[in-house]
Structure 1
C-alpha cells in the first residue's frame, strides 16, 4: 500500500453535527471522517475512533 494516503480524520468543536458540516468537509477534502468534542481536542473516545479509522484504511489487502 506504499505511496497512498488515507482520508483525513477531522475533529470539530460541538455536540452534534449537521448534514451541511459533512457536505462542506467532503466537498473540500473528499472522503473524510469527522469527530466531535466539547473543546475540539482529541479525547479517549475520539482517539479510539481515529485508531479504527486508521486500521480500516491501512489493513493489508491481498494483491
Structure 2
C-alpha cells in the first residue's frame, strides 16, 4: 500500500508545463535549496517519495549539510 499523504502536499507538486511537449523525464533531481553547499558534503542520501519529504524539515531544522 502506498502512502496518500503526498497527494495534497504543498511541496510535492508539478506544473502542467513540466509534463508537456518538449520536456524530458529526469531520473535524478538535485537538491533545489540554493543554501546547500555541495562542496562541504560528507554523505549523500538517495531517497524518494515520502522519505524525502519527511527528511527535508529535519535537515533544514538542524542545518545539516550547510
Structure with more of its chain in helix, by fraction: 1
Normalising by structure 2, we get a TM-score of 0.27
**Larger strand share, 1 or 2:** 1
TM-score normalised by length of structure 1: 0.28
